[in-house]
């Protein structure tokens, strides 16, 4: 299965921002145990590239690891060389998309308006991250998806257990989940990891029902 097909099939991407590098593998194993099959490590996290390399190697075949908050092509290249299989950005950068595609990886640029979303797709984005999705909710998402049904969209920012079904019903093809799933401000104890697995399981179930 290609990385793109993997993302479109499993849908839920756990976003890990600012975690202690020593905890990344524990977090990865916890979300994977709950049925989540993708994890994004943001590049503004400490030791992000080393973490991507470590988790990619340890979880190969079980968890597809990508890089997030990628703002330029140089950062995309570094992440891809570290083992990232997809590149996610909060913004639209044509050169970053081109670099990602040059390495045969999945490009998920960020956009918000209909014009930005169409440009991101025309530039080569495989899935377009609609960000921040929670600001306007599933209603806005449905309005955007209506005239652009051929573009796979991934709501990110403000997606929660309370609204994820609405986004799914509005046509979302994948979902980026940050602190609503992985709260990196909490201490990573055994209890936290068990709760993380349960939250992951709940999100996966909600998407399946949607």
Contacts of residue 139, Cβ cutoff 8 Å, sequence gap at least 6: 170
Instruction: Pinpoint the alpha helices (H) of 146-189.
Output: 164-169
Residue of 104, 144, 145, 154 whose CA lies nearest to 124:
104
Tell me which H or E stretch contains 191.
Answer: helix 190-209
Rounded distance between C-alpha atoms, residue 200 and residue 26, angstroms: 14
Residue of 142, 162, 161, 163 whose CA lies nearest to 153:
142
Rounded distance between C-alpha atoms, residue 155 and residue 134, angstroms: 8
Q: What is the DSSP letter of 105?
A: P
> Within 10 Å of residue 113's Cβ, how many Cβ atoms?
10
Q: What is the pLDDT along the chain (210 residues), one digit of tens a residue?
A: 999 999 999 999 999 999 999 999 999 999 999 999 999 999 999 999 999 999 999 999 999 999 999 999 999 999 999 999 999 999 999 999 999 999 999 999 999 999 999 999 999 999 999 999 988 899 998 999 889 999 999 999 999 999 999 999 999 999 999 999 999 999 999 999 999 999 999 999 999 976
| Contact indicator for 17, 39 with CB cutoff of 8 Å | no
Q: What angle do CA 205, 209, 210 make, to 5 degrees?
A: 115
Residue of 122, 125, 207 whose CA lies nearest to 170:
207
């Amino acid at each position: 299965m290609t990385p793109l097909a993997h993302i479109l099939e499993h849908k839920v991407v756990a976003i890990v921002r600012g975690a202690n590098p020593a905890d990344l593998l524990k977090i990865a194993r916890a979300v994977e145990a709950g049925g989540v099959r993708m994890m994004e490590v943001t590049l503004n996290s400490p030791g992000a590239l080393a973490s991507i390399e470590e988790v990619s190697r340890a979880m190969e075949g079980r968890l597809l690891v990508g890089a997030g908050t990628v703002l330029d092509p140089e950062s995309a290249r570094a992440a891809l060389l570290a083992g990232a299989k997809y590149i996610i950005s909060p913004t639209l950068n044509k050169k970053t998309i081109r670099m990602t595609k040059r390495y045969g990886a999945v490009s998920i640029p960020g956009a918000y308006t209909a014009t930005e979303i169409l440009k991101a797709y025309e530039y080569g984005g495989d899935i377009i991250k609609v960000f921040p999705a929670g600001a306007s909710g599933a209603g806005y998402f449905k309005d955007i998806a209506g005239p652009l049904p051929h573009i796979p969209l991934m709501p990110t920012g403000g997606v929660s257990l309370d609204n994820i079904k609405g986004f799914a019903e509005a046509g979302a093809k994948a979902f980026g989940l940050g602190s609503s799933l992985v709260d990196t401000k909490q201490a990573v104890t055994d209890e936290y990891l068990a709760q993380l697995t349960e939250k992951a399981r709940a999100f996966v179930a909600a998407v399946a029902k949607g």
